[in-house]
Amino acid sequence: DTGVSQDPRHKITKRGQNVTFRCDPISEHNRLYWYRQTLGQGPEFLTYFQNEAQLEKSRLLSDRFSAERPKGSFSTLEIQRTEQGDSAMYLCASSFPRGYRRAETQYFGPGTRLLVL
Amino acid sequence: QQPVQSPQAVILREGEDAVINCSSSKALYSVHWYRQKHGEAPVFLMILLKGGEQKGHEKISASFNEKKQQSSLYLTASQLSYSGTYFCGTESTYSGAGSYQLTFGKGTKLSVIP
C-alpha cells in the first residue's frame, strides 16, 4: 500500500498561467476528494468523485477550476488563468466505500503547494 | 459552518496532558480527528460516530457527545512526536446534497517541549 500520491509537490507559476495537478489514490479506493488548505486554516472541500463521476462541487470551485477522473483511477485538477488568491496547498484524499456512504475514513496525500506570483 | 476548535494553540512539556475541543452548530453524524505536521499531509487519528462513543489510540483518546454536538480529543503523557496541528472534521446528519463532505475546523496547534 503506497498511500495517496500527488504530483508535483510544489508549483510556482505566474498570474494568468494554467496549472494542472495530479492525484493517485490508494488503489482500491473508488472515492476521491480534492481540498484546498490555506495558512492557518483547515482543509476546505472542493470536489468529490465516485469512480469517474464527479458527484459534488463546492461553491469554492469557480469556473476556472476543473477536475477530472477519466478512468476512475487517478484524478487531475486544473486551474486556468491563475490568480494570486489561488496560492494554497491542494490536498487530495481517497476513501474505501462503505455500503451506506457514511463516516468513511479519508486518507490524504502530501499535497501540492501552489504559489502564484 | 465550520466547527469551532479550542484552544487555538497550546504548549506542553513532555508528559503533560491536553484536551482539544471541537464544537459544531449542526447535528453531527461523525467526527474525524487528524494531526498535521508542518508541510505534511493530515494523518488520520480516529473517527467517532454518533451514539456518544469514546475511542482510544495509544495515549490519544476522544469522546463524542452528539447531544451537545461536541467532541474532545485527549492527549495524555504527551510526547515530542505529538507536536503538530490537530483538526477535527465533522459530518452532519443532514442527508441532502453536500451532506457527506467533511467540514474542518481551523485547527489547534500543539507544541510539546522537552
Per-residue pLDDT of B61-98, as tens digits, reads 999 988 889 999 999 999 999 999 999 999 887 655 55
High-pLDDT (> 90) share of chain B, %: 62
Split at pLDDT 50, 70, 90, the class of A2 is confident
Residue A35: is its pLDDT beyond 90?
A: yes
Burial of A91 (0-12, 13-18, 19+ CB in 10 A): buried
Peptide bond into B7 cis (omega under 30): yes
Looking at residue A116, its pLDDT comes to 97
Residue B55: is its pLDDT beyond 80?
A: no
The verdict on B66 touching A (C-beta cutoff 8 Å) is: no
Rg (CA), chain B: 14
Split at pLDDT 50, 70, 90, the class of B53 is low
Taking only the tens place, the pLDDT of each residue in A66-110 is 999 998 899 999 999 999 999 999 999 999 876 555 667 899 999
Looking at residue A1, its pLDDT comes to 56
Give residues 24 to 63 of B whose Cβ lies within 8 Å of A: 29-30, 32, 34, 40-44, 47, 49
Rg (CA), chain A: 14
Contact A42 B87 (CB under 8 A): yes
In this prediction, residues B28-34 reach a mean pLDDT of: 91
Cell of A23: 492525484
Taking only the tens place, the pLDDT of each residue in A39-63 is 989 999 999 998 899 988 888 888 9
Residue A13: is its pLDDT beyond 70?
A: yes
Residues A43/A91, Cβ–Cβ less than 8 Å: yes
Residues B90/B22, Cβ–Cβ less than 8 Å: yes
Looking at residue B22, its pLDDT comes to 97
Looking at residue A19, its pLDDT comes to 98
Looking at residue A98, its pLDDT comes to 67
Average pLDDT of chain B? Answer: 88
* Dihedral pair phi/psi, residue B82, rounded to 5°: -80, -10
CA–CA separation, A87 and A90 (whole Å)? 9
CA–CA separation, A31 and A101 (whole Å)? 10
Looking at residue B106, its pLDDT comes to 96
Residue to mutate among B53, B100, B103, B108, with most A CBs inside 10 A, is B100
Nearest-Cα distance to chain A for B101, in Å, is: 7
